[in-house]
């Protein structure tokens, strides 16, 4: 071994420990950088040097490669926990907002408004002639419809907001996938030439962490260093290619929904975690169910109140009534889908009372029964058939306008008409003499004719006989608060149905909150493990800094000694 070989050893040591100092300094500089993974130089002896007599020694030191301290399996578990945590955090946030919107357990919730309405009908049953009590009934009805509108519009607004957030999140996922594909190309290029792709891998891991917050993904690192990203079993990124994602419109249970799909073939993305899964699942799951049940509550309230109200009589008969629900086809059975009625009638009948007032003030009442055959046979009644049946009654006129709504009136100015004992529900289906209009929580209204006529309060059908003091119809409506509804409504009371919806919403929100919290604990634990392994410890780096500094100084001293020896040799 010559002095030149010794000089080479010193030079390699000097350069190697200088580079090691740079790596340590980079660790210190990035100690607070989110997602940064600690790096360390891997030192190896380089070559051999002959000492003579067949003896050899090392020829110096070199940095074999820069090792990035990371556990890919741990990072994958951390990303999975992050996906589930963000998924249920979204559900918790949305359902908590819905709970606040429903405003139950206060004096301004729907349950309280329903109780107040039925109580007002109960009070009216005791004093049906009292116009003040009739006014209270209308005021309570307006309060209930306003609260239903508020809730329904609020739920619709949340649904639209979730869709907007979905659009934004999907656009971000598409951009992240493209950036990861680009980084794959850069990592492969950097490492295939023997260089270090540690910083590029850190950037890619940061993007993958953000991607996992949005959608649950599985990542596989290929032998060449590129990362293949899968959503379920479907690839999203493969080497330098991203399939991309986008939003498309799809029919879901008869409703147009914006859902997530792959950009290259419109294939639906199966979501199992992340913010996007939370947004889409909550919108199409719990929120859609709350909307459906809120609409069903309003629908049954409309139907049940209208069936009773339409068979009753007001303080006096009416000269003309026009239905609020239109029929699409006048020549098909009224219970067929082609008729287009929101509420379909059933087989039965109803009574038409014609009250004639003589000049001396005496009244005569003629009652006619109108059959409504709806048995699924050829003789089922159509709207045109019903018009003919009504028109055949003396002093009664019936017609259908261009709007498809039935109008029934008295042919004589001295006559008034009223209805009773409707077992078919056809009056409620057509909107004749009804209390409510509409068909769900967004369209429910107090029937316009109750407020469009002079002394509107008198048109509430509180009785069934037309006699003074008869409040039997109002009493029946009041009983709806305590009566179970038909099987389609689950065989429960209107108030119980609303309370079950409130309870279910609370359970869903609590479940999402607890699951998000549990996944948050797991995420924190895994994050702590990741930081203990991959994070920068300033104490440890300070030790390394001293070590490489001393090694650099020793190498410099070694070179100085060799240089002195060379000078001595040259001076001989």
Question: Regarding predicted confidence, which is higher, 210 or 531?
Answer: 210
Count helices and strands in the chain by DSSP H and E runs = 13, 18
What pLDDT does 454 receive?
56
What is the DSSP annotation of 100-165?
A: HHHTTTSTTSHHHHHHHHHHHHHHHHH-TT-HHHHHHHHHHHHHHHHHHHHHHHHHHHHHHHHHHH
Q: Coil, helix or strand for 235?
A: strand
Beta bridge partners of 48: 58
pTM for this model (two decimals): 0.83
260 and 132 share a domain? yes
First vs last C-alpha separation in the chain? 20
What pLDDT does 37 receive?
84
Which of 28-42, 180-194, 330-344, 456-470 is most confident? 330-344
37 and 135 share a domain? no
Averaged pLDDT score across all residues of the chain:
88
What pLDDT does 486 receive?
63
Enter the tokens of residue 126: 């005791």
What pLDDT does 181 receive?
94
242 and 159 share a domain? yes
Q: Classify residue 407: in a domain, yes or no.
A: no
Question: Regarding predicted confidence, which is higher, 147 or 56?
Answer: 147
Domain hosting 36: range is 3-69+535-571
User: For the packed helices 494-534 and 288-309, what is the interaxial angle rounded to 10 degrees?
Assistant: 170
pLDDT surpassing 80 at residue 487: no
132 and 58 share a domain? no
Structural domain count of the chain: 2
Q: Classify residue 240: in a domain, yes or no.
A: yes
442 and 565 share a domain? no
Enter the tokens of residue 144: 């209930």
Q: Which residues contact 250 (CB under 8 A, 6 or more apart)?
A: 256, 257, 258, 259, 268
Which of 94-108, 352-366, 391-405 is predicted least confidently? 94-108
Q: Classify residue 453: in a domain, yes or no.
A: yes
Q: Classify residue 542: in a domain, yes or no.
A: yes
567 burial (CB, 10 Å; 0-12 / 13-18 / 19+) is exposed
H-only helix segments in 2-49 = 3-29
What pLDDT does 106 receive?
65
126 and 60 share a domain? no
How far apart are alpha carbons 127 and 538 in whole angstroms? 85
How far apart are alpha carbons 418 and 395 in whole angstroms? 12
Which of 61-70, 159-168, 243-252 is predicted least confidently? 61-70
Q: Classify residue 344: in a domain, yes or no.
A: no
pLDDT surpassing 90 at residue 359: no
164 and 266 share a domain? yes
195 and 234 share a domain? yes
pLDDT-derived band at 172 (thresholds 50, 70, 90) equals: very high
85 and 204 share a domain? yes
What pLDDT does 455 receive?
63
Query: Which has the closest alpha carbon to 180: 144, 198, 207, 145?
Result: 207
Query: Which has the closest alpha carbon to 290: 488, 472, 99, 44?
Result: 99
What is the DSSP annotation of 308-325?
A: HHTTSB-SS-BSEEE-SS
Question: Regarding predicted confidence, which is higher, 40 or 486?
Answer: 40
510 and 540 share a domain? no
Query: Which has the closest alpha carbon to 369: 419, 406, 411?
Result: 419
Q: Classify residue 391: in a domain, yes or no.
A: no
Query: Which has the closest alpha carbon to 320: 385, 413, 401, 383?
Result: 413
Q: What is the mean pLDDT of residues 62-82?
A: 85
Q: Coil, helix or strand for 375?
A: coil
Q: What is the mean pLDDT of residues 86-97?
A: 92
Q: What is the mean pLDDT of residues 450-456?
A: 65
57 and 135 share a domain? no
pLDDT-derived band at 258 (thresholds 50, 70, 90) equals: confident
How far apart are alpha carbons 553 and 3 in whole angstroms? 19
What pLDDT does 365 receive?
87
Percent pLDDT > 70 in the chain is 95
What pLDDT does 383 receive?
94
What pLDDT does 54 receive?
61
């Amino acid at each position: 071994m010559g002095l030149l070989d010794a000089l080479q050893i010193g030079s390699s040591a000097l350069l190697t420990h200088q580079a090691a100092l740079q790596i340590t300094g980079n660790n210190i500089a990035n100690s607070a950088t989110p997602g940064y993974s600690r790096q360390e130089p891997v030192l190896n002896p380089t070559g051999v040097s002959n000492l003579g007599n067949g003896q050899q020694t090392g020829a110096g030191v070199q940095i074999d490669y820069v090792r990035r301290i990371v556990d890919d399996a741990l990072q994958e578990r951390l990303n999975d926990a992050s996906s589930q945590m963000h998924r249920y955090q979204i559900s918790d946030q949305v359902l908590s907002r819905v709970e606040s919107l429903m405003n139950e357990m206060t004096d301004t919730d729907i349950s309280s408004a329903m109780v107040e309405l039925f109580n007002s009908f109960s009070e009216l049953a005791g004093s049906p002639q009292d116009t003040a009590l009739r006014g209270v009934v209308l005021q309570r009805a307006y309060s209930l419809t306003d609260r239903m509108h508020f809730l329904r519009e609020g739920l619709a607004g949340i649904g639209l907001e979730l869709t907007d957030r979905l659009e934004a999140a999907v656009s971000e996922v598409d951009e992240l996938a493209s950036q990861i594909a680009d980084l794959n190309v850069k990592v492969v290029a950097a490492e295939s030439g023997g260089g270090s792709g540690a910083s590029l891998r850190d950037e890619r891991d940061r993007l993958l962490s953000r991607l996992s917050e949005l959608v649950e993904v599985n990542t596989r690192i290929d032998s060449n260093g590129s990362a293949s990203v899968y959503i379920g079993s479907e690839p999203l990124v493969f080497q330098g290619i991203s399939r991309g994602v986008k939003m498309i419109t799809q029919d879901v249970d008869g409703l147009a929904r914006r859902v997530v799909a792959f950009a290259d073939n419109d294939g639906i993305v199966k979501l199992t975690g992340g913010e996007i899964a939370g947004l889409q699942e909550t919108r199409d799951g719990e929120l859609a169910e709350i909307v459906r049940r809120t609409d069903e509550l309003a629908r049954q309230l409309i139907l049940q109140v209208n069936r009773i109200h339409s068979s009753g009589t007001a303080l006096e008969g009416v000269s003309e009534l026009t239905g609020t629900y239109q029929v699409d086809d006048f020549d098909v059975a009224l219970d067929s889908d082609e008729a287009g009625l929101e509420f379909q009638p059933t087989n039965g009948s109803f009574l038409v009372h014609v009250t004639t007032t003589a000049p001396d003030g005496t009244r005569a009442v003629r009652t006619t029964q109108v059959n409504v055959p709806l048995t699924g046979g050829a003789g089922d009644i159509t709207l045109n058939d019903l018009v003919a049946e009504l028109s055949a009654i003396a002093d009664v006129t019936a017609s259908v306008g261009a709007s498809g709504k039935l109008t029934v009136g008295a042919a004589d100015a001295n006559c008034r008409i009223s209805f009773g004992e409707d077992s078919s529900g056809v009056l409620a289906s057509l909107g004749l003499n009804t209390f409510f209009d509409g068909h769900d929580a967004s369209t429910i209204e107090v029937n316009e004719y109750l407020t469009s006529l002079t002394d509107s309060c008198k048109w509430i059908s509180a009785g069934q006989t037309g006699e003074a003091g008869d409040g039997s119809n109002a009493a029946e409506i009041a009983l709806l608060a305590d009566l179970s509804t038909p099987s389609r409504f689950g065989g429960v009371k209107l108030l119980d149905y609303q309370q079950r919806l409130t309870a279910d919403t609370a359970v869903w929100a609590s479940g999402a909150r607890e699951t998000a919290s549990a996944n948050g604990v797991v995420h924190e634990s895994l994050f702590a493990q990741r930081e203990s392994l991959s994070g920068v410890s300033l104490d440890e780096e300070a030790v390394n800094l001293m070590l490489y500094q001393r090694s650099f100084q020793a190498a410099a001293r070694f070179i100085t000694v060799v240089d002195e020896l060379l000078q001595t040799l040259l001076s001989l």
